[in-house]
Amino acid sequence: MRVVLPIVVVLIGIVLVIMGHGRYTSVFANRDSLYSAVGVGCWLIAACLWMLNWMMQMNVDDAGDRKKEDDARAYFVSHGYWPGEGPAE
């Protein structure tokens, strides 16, 4: 869904721009201008969807890193050294 939805919206935008012959004078001037404007709007929506998905993925990855760090700190508190380092001599 994260990949397919933006691609589908871009393809819809391409079809609309082709239907509008790539012409734009004013949104309400004629039907071709409206199709072209909505097609470009679809491209912008697809870009926003992709960026939102990217930010959500960054958030999910960051949450996993926090959990690892919290576990390492808990290990340090209970054992007196960081995991993987061994006890100090």
Domain residue spans of the chain: 4-79
Confidence at residue 89, expressed as pLDDT on a 0 to 100 scale:
57
Q: Would you say the pTM of this structure is higher than 0.85?
A: no
What angle do the packed helices 4-19 and 31-79 form, to 10 degrees? 160
Q: What is the pLDDT of residue 88?
A: 64
The model's pLDDT over 27-67, given as tens digits with 9 standing for 90+, comes to 677 888 889 899 999 999 999 999 999 998 888 777 777 88
Q: Is the pLDDT of residue 86 over 80?
A: no
- Residue 51 pLDDT: 95
